[in-house]
């Protein structure tokens, strides 16, 4: 007997409906759906929207192959494209919109794979809430968020509403209410008692938003037990523009200067900001650590804005003190206040050597010349001395000179934190009657030229 073997393959669909469960998803919670599902009642023309979640509670993936909704006044949106595979413990979502066109009961059939659910809603004899948006009256859905936008605190935004009878008979329109009572949202000239409104008729009212404090604000507008959420943002008063004011119009190197910040107008609120400075030395020159705000040469300081004041306050008062340093370059100030980011620069041009002090001292067996100052180019190159006698004649041997290039370069390289500051001491052993010496004239040169001391008396 012959034996025949063959292979038969069959692709089967994943089990579907038995693994899927339907929920209403509200406020982050899944609520199991039981048929029939009552969606509630609302006015003709008004809208109720519900979010549904299809959950796969099984340990394996399943496929959503059917999702259909049929019935007058009902529509489905944000629904997934079919077929849709739903992973184990995963979900898919869709929304149902119920919008009755008249009073009465409305039913619909919802099919999720093989799971059938009946939906029930009602068009009640209630007015439709409409808002005037740019001259057009727009219907507002129950539980919708009505955005008022934003406004400065202590200023107001008004919104106009009307309650319209979209039914074919007369209805009773109840007065609206807002909670919390006495909050940032208030009814303006509301009707205070129930009113009978005929078909197509309407009553109007306004809501005004005004808050003393900044931030997002919310409230609930209630109409015939239907909630509508109100939301607005109160902005803090803007901080005025800040203007840098320097005590000296043209600050120089090797000085301590003062700067203040004047506001374009008196501030209406409190605030804080930062004043920064940055130093950019001329090409080839080093940074100068002495450039900064006193007392610690920091390059960033905070300040405060006080309501009613047109000047900011630093920790040291209405002015901040800064050092300009002793290196040629640019100091750039950056004012950070609210959304402002403004800059102002001070330039310090290269100069000849600046001497703070120059002293000639007559001692036993010689004389000494002491110089103290700064070279903002760090390029000192040569120095000369010329001594004079009391009779007006030049003392021998006449002009005495010396190069400075190597000495100054070595000094600045070994002292990177001094900027351009230096002290120089020159000693001159002498023979003869030192008492006949009257004084000395010194010239010191850098790449910008020659600085002269004039006659230094002994």
Q: Examine the domain organization and report whether 223 and 134 are in the same domain.
A: yes
321 vs 212, 259, 372, 385, CA distance in Å? Answer: 38, 6, 24, 38
Question: Which position has the higher pLDDT, 363 or 313?
Answer: 313
β-bridge partners, 374 = 354, 421
- Residue 249: pLDDT band (50, 70, 90) is confident
Task: Flag whether pLDDT at 405 surpasses 90.
Answer: yes
CATH number, domain of 82, equals 2.60.40.10
Asked if residue 328 and residue 296 are part of one domain, the reply reads: yes
pLDDT at 101: 85
Asked whether residue 25 is domain-assigned, the answer is yes
Separation CA 334–CA 256 (nearest Å): 19
Span 327-377, pLDDT tens digits: 999 999 999 998 899 999 999 999 999 999 999 999 888 899 999 999 999
**376-393 burial by CB neighbour count: b if 16+ within 10 A, else e?**
bbbbbeebebbbbeeeee
Query: What is the Cα–Cα distance from 265 to 310, expressed in whole angstroms?
Result: 6
Q: What pLDDT score was predicted for residue 190? A: 77
Instruction: Check pLDDT > 60 for residue 167.
Output: yes
Say yes or no: 225 and 253 in one domain: no
The per-residue pLDDT for 259 is 97
Q: Is the pLDDT of residue 159 over 70?
A: yes
Q: What is the pLDDT of residue 11?
A: 37
Angle at the Cα of 70 from the Cα atoms of 66 and 75, rounded to 5 degrees = 95
Sign of the torsion angle spanned by Cα atoms 311, 314, 315, 321: negative
CA 369 → CA 358, 403, 440, 441, 449, distances in Å?
7, 16, 8, 10, 21
Question: What confidence category does residue 176 fall into, taking pLDDT thresholds of 50, 70 and 90?
Answer: very high
- Is the Cβ–Cβ distance between 138 and 128 less than 8 Å? no
- pLDDT at position 301 is 97
Q: What is the structure's pLDDT at 8? A: 35
- pLDDT in the model for residue 142: 85
Collapsing DSSP states into helix, strand and coil, what is residue 237? coil
Give the CA radius of gyration of the chain. Answer: 43
Pair (307, 251) in one structural domain:
yes
Q: Phi then psi for 188, rounded to 5 degrees?
A: -115, 120
Query: Do the domain assignments include residue 380?
Result: yes
Enter the DSSP assignment of 436: G
Q: What angle do CA 309, 313, 314 make, to 5 degrees?
A: 170
Residue 137 confidence (pLDDT): 94
The per-residue DSSP string of 200-217 comes to T-EEEEEEEEE-SS-EEE
Contact predicate 382/434, CB 8 Å: no
User: Same structural domain for residues 401 and 438?
Assistant: yes
Q: Are residues 132 and 228 in the same domain?
A: yes
Q: In the 3-class helix/strand/coil scheme, how is 365-403 assigned residue by residue?
A: CEEEEEEEEECCCCCCCEEEEEEEECCCCECCCCCEEEE
What pLDDT was estimated at residue 44?
Answer: 84
pLDDT of the residue at 7: 36
Residue pLDDT, tens place only, 92-108: 999 999 999 888 899 99
Identify whether residues 310 and 289 lie together within a single domain: yes
CA atoms of 49 and 109, how far apart (whole Å): 16
- State residue 14's pLDDT score: 37
**Mean pLDDT of all residues belonging to the chain:** 91
Q: Does any domain span residue 4?
A: no
pLDDT at 254 over 70: yes
Q: Which domain holds residue 157?
A: 128-235
CATH of the domain at 310: 2.60.40
Tell me: the pLDDT tens digits for 261-288? Answer: 999 999 999 999 999 999 999 999 999 9
* Residue where a domain stops, chosen among 317, 348, 379: 348
The CA-atom distances, in angstroms, between 196 and each of 171, 326, 382 are: 6, 86, 105
Which of 192, 220, 235 is a domain's end point?
235
What's 215's DSSP letter? Answer: E
Among the candidates 123, 154, 183, a domain finishes at 123
Does 414 share its domain with 445?
A: yes
Sheet order of strands, 400-403 included: 400-403, 382-389, 437-446, 449-457
Domain count, the chain: 4
Helices (H) and strands (E) in the chain, counts: 1, 37
């Amino acid at each position: 007997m012959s034996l025949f073997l063959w292979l038969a393959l069959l692709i089967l669909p994943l089990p579907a409906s038995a693994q899927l469960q339907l929920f209403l998803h509200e406020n982050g919670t899944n609520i199991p759906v039981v048929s029939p599902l009552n969606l509630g009642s609302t006015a003709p023309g008004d809208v109720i929207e519900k979010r549904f979640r299809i959950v796969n509670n099984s340990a394996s993936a399943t496929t959503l192959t059917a999702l259909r909704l049929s019935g007058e006044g009902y529509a489905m949106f944000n629904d997934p494209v079919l077929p849709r595979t739903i992973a184990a413990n995963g979900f898919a979502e869709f929304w149902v919109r119920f919008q009755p066109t008249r009073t009465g009961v409305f039913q619909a059939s919802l099919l999720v794979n093989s799971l059938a659910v009946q939906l029930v809603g009602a068009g009640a004899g209630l007015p439709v809430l409409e808002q005037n948006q740019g001259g057009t009256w727009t219907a507002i859905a129950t539980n919708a968020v009505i955005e008022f936008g934003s406004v400065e605190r202590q200023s107001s935004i008004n919104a106009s509403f009307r309650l319209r009878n979209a039914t074919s008979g007369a209805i009773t329109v109840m007065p609206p209410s807002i909670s919390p009572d006495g909050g940032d949202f208030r009814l303006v000239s509301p009707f205070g008692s129930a009113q009978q409104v005929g078909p197509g008729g309407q009553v109007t009212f306004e809501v005004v938003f005004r808050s003393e404090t900044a931030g997002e604000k919310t409230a609930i507008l209630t109409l015939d037990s239907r909630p509508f959420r109100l939301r607005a943002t109160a902005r803090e008063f803007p901080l005025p523009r800040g203007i840098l004011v320097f005590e000296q119009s043209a600050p120089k190197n090797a000085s301590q200067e003062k700067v203040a910040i004047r506001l374009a107008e008196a501030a209406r609120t409190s605030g804080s900001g930062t004043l920064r400075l940055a130093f950019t030395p001329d090409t080839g020159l080093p940074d100068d650590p002495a450039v900064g705000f006193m007392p610690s040469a920091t390059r960033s300081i905070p300040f405060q804005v006080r309501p009613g004041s047109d000047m900011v306050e630093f920790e040291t008062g209405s002015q901040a003190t800064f050092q300009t340093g002793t290196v040629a370059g640019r100091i750039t100030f950056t004012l950070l206040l609210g959304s402002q980011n403004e800059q102002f620069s001070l330039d310090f041009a290269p100069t000849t050597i600046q001497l703070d002090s120059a002293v000639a001292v007559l001692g036993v067996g010689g004389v000494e010349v002491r110089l103290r100052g700064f070279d903002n180019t760090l390029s000192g190159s040569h120095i000369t001395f010329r001594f004079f006698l009391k009779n007006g004649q030049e003392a021998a041997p006449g002009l005495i000179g010396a190069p400075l290039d190597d000495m100054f370069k070595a000094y600045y390289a070994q002292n990177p934190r001094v900027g351009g500051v230096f002290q120089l001491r020159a000693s001159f052993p002498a023979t003869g009657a030192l008492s006949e010496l009257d004084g000395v004239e010194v010239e010191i040169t850098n790449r910008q030229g020659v600085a002269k001391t004039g006659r230094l008396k002994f």
